[in-house]
Amino acid sequence: MNKHLLLGIVLSVVCCCSAQRSSANREVTASLLPVGAGGSEMLWYEAPARVWHEALPLGNSRLGAMVYGGTRVEELQLNEETFFSGGPHDNDSRTSLSHLDEVRRLIFEGKDREASAIVDREFIRGPHGMKYLTLGSLLMTFGHENISDYQRTLDLQRAVATTSYTYNGVHYTRTVFTSLADSVLVVNIKASRRGALAFSLRHSCPLLTTTTMSAATLRPSYIPHSAASSGHLHNRVD
């Protein structure tokens, strides 16, 4: 069954002046920094995410993204609340209630392994319909290597992920957030030198996907098989 979903991704490119600092990529570890008198806090990293759980999560209750903060290739792994496999299905177990007291007793007795075995056998029986599917990844290829002044952050108060670094004398800043009111995922890209932005944009997914592009909008169509697709955008944003 085909599912057509519009990824509301807005790419806004602004050339601006910025100060430059020096630093090098280091091991991916997070620092929690207080920001301002209002008590807002920020997660701060000195290197891009290498795996999924190191990426920064954003979402607006419908669209979600894991932001990796890459400099050669930026990846935003996407999901959307209605994208499931199969049709409506009741995953509730009909045998779980009769075993609930036994599981509770085992937990209070410190027998977690025995309790877990019963939960696996009686509470999570399957088959499990309507499995959650990935929308794939939005990949932005910049080709920036040997960079300095790298930083990526997640503002926990504003729910904004920011990646900044210096490459070839130009300071780049990418800001990503999701809007509940407009139901979109927004990527704002800035460079300290006019005309310095050049990148390709594509969508990749483990499902069979065909993709069309209009201006800066990707429109993928999904079929439940395994493949990937891509559209490209070079040095053009609207």
Is 57 in contact with 66 (CB distance < 8 Å)? yes
The pLDDT tens digits for 110-119 are: 999 999 999 9
Is 8 in contact with 63 (CB distance < 8 Å)? yes
Question: How does residue 6 score in pLDDT terms, banded at 50, 70 and 90?
Answer: very low
Mean pLDDT for the chain overall: 79
CATH number of 3-84+133-226: 2.70.98.50
SS3 52: helix
Q: What is the mean pLDDT of residues 11-29?
A: 40
Contacts 24+ apart (CB under 8 A), 157-166: 157/35, 157/38, 157/39, 157/40, 157/41, 158/40, 159/58, 161/56, 161/58, 161/67, 161/69, 163/48, 163/67, 163/69, 163/71, 163/74, 165/71, 166/20, 166/21
Mean pLDDT lowest among 3-12, 42-51, 194-203: 3-12
- How far is it, in rounded angstroms, from Cα 92 to Cα 96? 8
Give the pair of three-digit tokens for residue 131. Answer: 């499995």
- How far is it, in rounded angstroms, from Cα 238 to Cα 224? 32
∠ CA 148-152-154 to the nearest 5 degrees? 165
Question: How does residue 29 score in pLDDT terms, banded at 50, 70 and 90?
Answer: low
Q: Pick 52 or 19 by higher pLDDT.
A: 52
Residue 229 has pLDDT above 60, yes or no: no
Share of the chain above pLDDT 90, in %: 53
Domain boundaries, the chain: 3-84+133-226, 92-125
Residue 234 has pLDDT above 50, yes or no: no
Question: How does residue 34 score in pLDDT terms, banded at 50, 70 and 90?
Answer: low
Q: What is the pTM of this model?
A: 0.67
CA distances from 44 to 33, 59, 77, 186, 227 (A): 7, 19, 20, 20, 35
